[in-house]
Amino acid sequence: MLQNSTILITGGTGSFGHTFVPMTLEKYNPKKLIIFSRDEMKQWEMAKLFGNDPRIRFFIGDVRDRERLYRAFTGVDYVVHAAATKIVPTAEYNPFECIKTNVNGAMNVIDAAIDKNVKRVVALSTDKASSPINLYGASKLASDKLFVAGNAYSGEHETRFSVVRYGNVMGSRGSVIPFFMQVKETGVLPITDTRMTRFMISLEQGVELVWHAFDDMHGGEIYVKKIPSMKVTDVARVVAPDAIQKVVGIRPGEKIHEQMVGFEDAPYTYEYPEHFKILPAINEWSQSKSRIKDGVLVPENFVYSSDNNSEWMKEEELAVWIDVNRGKIGAI
């Protein structure tokens, strides 16, 4: 589907973009891949990684700027919407800025995609959008709802929208593994809560889920990857086995466990071998055979959270992953 096409990724200089771009270039050989973001220095640094690859384009712009998106989306076939204000405390203390990017930006992407005849859009979401307790999660839930409803909003246009949701990305900048690696020399690792668990997904798995969404989507689906969990105390022990673990308390807006499917979504959630699919509750789309395909409806009151997960990552598995990926942990 993506072969010989023009693809654009918003927020493309972030962690996801740094993995999505080379993997997609290698697997699908698109005609053009456009990195849309607002940081010129990050674009300049990223451009050096790809030399003079004629398939790569860089486009300075902000998803808050509707007119700039219209210009960028001209001639684009597929869009990955990765731009967001993501850091939980940053969103709590700068709520207006969070809304401008995560909600208003989503609306701008939807409008531009429809009016510029983009074929399909996949928006990245987060576990924090499921039963949100912080502004980041609430803004991403609003974004998810906007992209789902965008399939009705598009009317006679053929533009289709879906969402990909996943949890803690191992090794990404600002996540727990690089943080522990940064402070381990002090001999003390701060632990917010000894009960805390997190889903563990690699950026490569996230990219593959986006590819699957493009190929599978009919419009309005939220895709949730099946991934293992770990206790944060176990992660700390792998990174620094001899360090003291000091409990410091939960940050504002932080959850003890991650959740990606809440029980309210269970009546509309179907299970597949490697993922779940939350179908839209609106317009009876959850009964659509073209969306359900070979899925199996999950049990009543089903919840997919990091503490009730059936799959857990062993400490030895994480240690191997860290050894293999040590050079890029926390770099992007």
225 within 8 A of 201, measured Cβ to Cβ: yes
Element (DSSP H or E) covering residue 120: strand 120-126
The tally of CA atoms less than 13 A away on the side-chain side of residue 70 is: 5
* DSSP annotation of 69: H
Q: Round to whole Å and give the CA distance between 20 and 14.
A: 10
The tally of CA atoms less than 13 A away on the side-chain side of residue 297 is: 11
Q: Is 128 a catalytic residue?
A: yes
227 within 8 A of 201, measured Cβ to Cβ: yes
* Secondary structure of residue 163 in the 3-state scheme: strand
Catalytic residue selected from 42, 86, 128, 226? 128
The pair of structure tokens assigned to 188 is 């003390």
Residues with Cβ < 8 Å from 284, sequence gap 6 or more?
none
The pair of structure tokens assigned to 3 is 């072969």
Distances (CA, A) of 324 to 102, 116, 242, 318, 328: 33, 42, 21, 10, 9
34 within 8 A of 59, measured Cβ to Cβ: yes
**What amino acid positions are annotated as catalytic residues?**
128
